[in-house]
Structure 1
Amino acid sequence: MTVTDLAPVPAPARTTYKVTGPRVLRSEWAKFWTLRSSWITLAVAVVLLIAFGAIAAATYSPDATATGGPPGPGSGDSDAVSLALTGVTFASLAVGVLGVLLSAGEYTTGMIRSTLAAVPRRLPVLWSKAAVIGPIVLVLSTIAALAAFQLGKLGLDGEKIALSLGDDGVLRSLAGAGVYLGLVAVFGVALGVLLRSSAGAIAVLVGVLLILPGLASLLPDSWYDTMNPYFPSNAGSAVYALHQSSDALSPGAGLAVFGGWVALALIGAAVRLVRSDA
Structure 2
Amino acid sequence: MNALRAEWIKFYSLRSTWLTLAGLVVAGLGITFLSMSAIADSYPDLTAEERLEWDPTRLSLTLFFVVQLIIGVLGVLVVTSEYATGLLRTSLTATPRRHRLLLAKVAVVAAVAVVAGQVLMFAAFFLGQNRLSAAGAPHAALGDPHVLRAIVGTGLYLAVIALLAVALGTILRATAGALAALVAIVLLVPALADIFPGWLDGLFDFWPTIGGSAVVATLPDPAYPHPWVNLAGLAAGVAVLLAGAVVLFGRRDV
Pairwise same-fold verdict (TM > 0.5): yes
* Residue 26 of structure 1: aligned partner: 5
Structure with the higher helix share, 1 or 2: 2
Q: Is it true that 1:234 corresponds to 2:217 in the alignment?
A: no
Q: Which has the larger radius of gyration?
A: 1
* Residue 130 of structure 2: aligned partner: 154
User: Structure 2 unaligned runs (5+)?
Assistant: none
**Residues in 2 aligned to 1:224 and 1:267: alpha-carbon distance in whole angstroms:** 23
**Residues in 2 aligned to 1:256 and 1:187: alpha-carbon distance in whole angstroms:** 14
Q: Deviation per CA, 1:66-104, whole angstroms, max 9, x where unpaired?
A: 5xxxxxxx9882311112112101110000111001101
* Residue 188 of structure 1: aligned partner: 165
- The structural deviation recorded for 1:224 is 5.7
TM-score, normalised via structure 1 length:
0.83
* Residue 253 of structure 1: aligned partner: 229
Aligned amino acid, residue 86 of structure 2: G
**Residues in 1 aligned to 2:230 and 2:65: alpha-carbon distance in whole angstroms:** 16
Residue of 90, 93, 113 corresponding to 2:66:
90
SS at match of 1:135: helix
Residue of 58, 68, 90 corresponding to 2:37:
58
**Residues in 2 aligned to 1:265 and 1:97: alpha-carbon distance in whole angstroms:** 17
State the aligned residue count. 248
Aligned amino acid, residue 252 of structure 1: W
Percent of residue pairs bearing the same amino acid type: 39
* Residue 177 of structure 1: aligned partner: 154
* Residue 20 of structure 2: aligned partner: 41
- CA shift in 2, pair 1:33/1:107, >3 Å: same
SS at match of 1:248: coil
TM-score, normalised via structure 2 length:
0.91
Q: Deviation per CA, 1:172-217, whole angstroms, max 9, x where unpaired?
A: 1111111111111111111111111111111101101111112221
The answer to whether the 8 A contact 2:205-2:212 is kept is no
**Residues in 2 aligned to 1:44 and 1:78: alpha-carbon distance in whole angstroms:** 29
Relative contact order higher in (CA < 8 Å, ≥ 6 apart):
2
RMSD: 1.9
- CA shift in 2, pair 1:223/1:214, >3 Å: farther
SS at match of 1:59: helix
Q: Deviation per CA, 1:211-268, whole angstroms, max 9, x where unpaired?
A: 1112221124x44644432323323212332234111252221121111121122111
- The structural deviation recorded for 1:136 is 1.2
